[in-house]
Amino acid sequence: MNDLSVFLNALPDGIVAVSEQNVVLFANAAVYDTLGVLPNSITGLPLSDCLKDQNLMMQLDKTGHESFLTLEADVSYPRKLKLRIRIVPLQEKNGEIDSPVALIIFTDVSREMSTAEDRERNSKLETMRLLTAGVAHELGNPLNSIIMKADLTERLVMKLPDSETKEKIAKDLAVIISESERLKRIVEDFLKAARPLSFRPSEADLRKLCEGCIAVMEPELHARDIAIQKYLSPVPPALLDEDLLRGAIINVIRNAAEAMPEGGLLIMRLETEGDFFKLSVRDNGVGMTEETAERIFDPFYTTKQTGTGLGMLQIKRAMEAHSGTIEIKSRVGKGTTVTLKAPLRQSETHVLDSPEAK
Ligand code: ADP
Ligand code: MG
């Protein structure tokens, strides 16, 4: 009984060990449930030949094995499922051609997802929604007056003759203003997370949208000593909710910026892949530990002193609304690439599909 496969076969998640060349060296019994293939029938074959689902194949096609990666894919084979796919690189490599370099773990999260949707009403999120929507809303107005009054006072102070007192007041006012603005952003984050999601797609030019997001963030990136490289190919116009995507993209950029406290390089890439768009933002910042990568979508999960832990949630909601996915590739100390993918739906099909378009 020292054959580990006995244990691996007892697990509910599909597990596949692959070689450097992406050849399946081992597959456990649960690949039958998750991928619809018999474990014995796929060992020795390239992984790409074993995947019968088009979407899954596309998602896994370009991923390497060098870093931890978690992604989610909607598949229609062997049945309609939502799979969470985790790629876990193996530490020990002995350089032999048939030695495993990574485990790929397929978890069926459809039930988790569908009940998660039902449960949202009672969940942490819904409680938060009720509580914070009220509080955040109430905070908004006084905060705005504080900021406005502080701005006015700052202007008045500037007109006073120079003195030590003036300098001190100006300094303190600057702190009041910047902290109130930070508070305002937190309140806005809470309100966004608390608001029920509305999905209003209209024909959008994604490249323009990306340019706009970069333009908004440019001063902040510049102040942080972060260089920007963008490779934005044109994407055919498609039905997208610009507001949702703008919020998501800005959050991705902001997280990347915050991961590079000493400055760095941010690379944004936009391309079309089949009927999907693929937008990636790469930073060479601090990266994520495995724990962070696992918990990143939990509401309020943050590793930052002044974070709210609501940004990723916003990104996730936006991508889910577009039937899209978020892929996160990260290495501690090296950096992170966040890739957003979603289908580019054309107007005609949407009008037929859309329940609102009556
Ligand atoms: P916040 O930014 O307020 O902390 P988010 O939901 O946006 O909340 O992100 C949650 C956590 O995910 C962050 O605290 C951080 O630890 C991690 N994270 C997100 N993006 C990156 C990134 N590009 N590099 C490193 N860590 C990241
Ligand atoms: Mg954030």
pLDDT band at 125 (very low <50, low <70, confident <90, very high): low
Residue whose token pair is 């894919």: 73
Contacts of 110 (CB under 8 A, 6+ apart): 80, 81, 82
| % of residues, the chain, pLDDT over 70 | 90
Of the three residues 108, 139, 167, the one that is the final residue of a domain is: 108
Structural domain for 50, as ranges: 2-108
Are residues 75 and 19 part of one domain?
yes
Residue 78 has pLDDT above 90, yes or no: no
Q: How far apart are CA 211 and CA 243, in angstroms?
A: 14
C-alpha of residue 312 to centroid of ligand 2, in Å:
6
Are residues 155 and 61 part of one domain?
no
- 233-264 residue pLDDT tens: 999 999 999 999 999 999 999 999 999 999 99
Q: Are 15 and 85 in contact (CB under 8 A)?
A: no
Are residues 327 and 263 part of one domain?
yes
CATH of the domain at 11: 3.30.450.20
Q: What is the mean pLDDT of residues 18-46?
A: 90
Residue 35 has pLDDT above 70, yes or no: yes
Are residues 143 and 273 part of one domain?
no
Kindly provide the residue ranges of all beta strands, DSSP E only, lying in 175-224, ordered along the sequence: 202-204
Pocket test for ligand 1, best of 221, 255, 305, 319 (most atoms within 8 A of CB): 255
Residue 287 has pLDDT above 70, yes or no: yes
> What's residue 354's pLDDT?
41
C-alpha of residue 255 to centroid of ligand 1, in Å:
5
Are residues 119 and 68 part of one domain?
no
Residue 1 has pLDDT above 50, yes or no: no
Pocket test for ligand 1, best of 302, 319, 330 (most atoms within 8 A of CB): 302
> What's residue 117's pLDDT?
60
Question: What residue owns the CA closest to ligand 1's atom 25?
Answer: 287
**pTM for this prediction:** 0.63
Among the bound ligands, the one closest to the CA of 317? 1
DSSP category for residue 161 = P
Cα 193 from chain centroid?
A: 15
pLDDT higher at 3 or 122: 3
Residue 289 has pLDDT above 80, yes or no: yes
Q: How far apart are CA 347 and CA 239, in angstroms?
A: 6
C-alpha of residue 134 to centroid of ligand 2, in Å:
22
Are residues 270 and 138 part of one domain?
no
Are residues 206 and 155 part of one domain?
no
CATH of the domain at 124: 1.10.287
Mean pLDDT of all residues belonging to the chain? 86
C-alpha of residue 65 to centroid of ligand 1, in Å:
22
Ligand 1 site residues (CB inside 6 A) read 251, 255-256, 259, 283, 285-288, 292, 296, 301-304, 307-312, 336
287 CA: nearest ligand 1 atom: 25
Q: Measuring CA to CA, how many Å separate 228 from each of 54, 192, 247, 262, 307?
A: 34, 27, 19, 15, 23
Among the bound ligands, the one closest to the CA of 267? 1
Q: What is the mean pLDDT of residues 112-129?
A: 64
> What's residue 351's pLDDT?
43
189 CA: nearest ligand 1 atom: 3
pLDDT higher at 266 or 195: 266
- 311-355 residue pLDDT tens: 998 899 899 889 888 999 999 999 999 999 999 987 654 444 444
Lowest mean pLDDT among 215-229, 270-284, 295-309: 295-309
Q: How far apart are CA 269 and CA 58, in angstroms?
A: 18
Residue whose token pair is 């009927």: 275
C-alpha of residue 167 to centroid of ligand 1, in Å:
36
Pocket test for ligand 1, best of 183, 296, 308, 315 (most atoms within 8 A of CB): 296
Are residues 165 and 99 part of one domain?
no
Contacts of 264 (CB under 8 A, 6+ apart): 225, 226, 227, 283, 284, 285, 335
C-alpha of residue 303 to centroid of ligand 2, in Å:
10
Residues around ion ligand 2, judged by CB within 5 A, are 255, 311
CATH of the domain at 344: 3.30.565.10
Are residues 177 and 42 part of one domain?
no
Give me Rg for the CA atoms of the chain: 24
Measured from the Cβ of residue 112, the count of other Cβ atoms closer than 10 Å reads 13
302 CA: nearest ligand 1 atom: 14
Are residues 157 and 206 part of one domain?
no
Are residues 11 and 128 part of one domain?
no
Question: What residue owns the CA closest to ligand 1's atom 12?
Answer: 296
C-alpha of residue 307 to centroid of ligand 2, in Å:
7
In a domain, 357, yes or no: no
Of the three residues 63, 86, 108, the one that is the final residue of a domain is: 108
> What's residue 6's pLDDT?
83
Of the three residues 39, 73, 108, the one that is the final residue of a domain is: 108
In a domain, 43, yes or no: yes
Count of domains observed in the chain:
3
> What's residue 134's pLDDT?
79
In a domain, 285, yes or no: yes
43: tokens are 């060992």
Are residues 158 and 287 part of one domain?
no
pLDDT higher at 174 or 68: 174
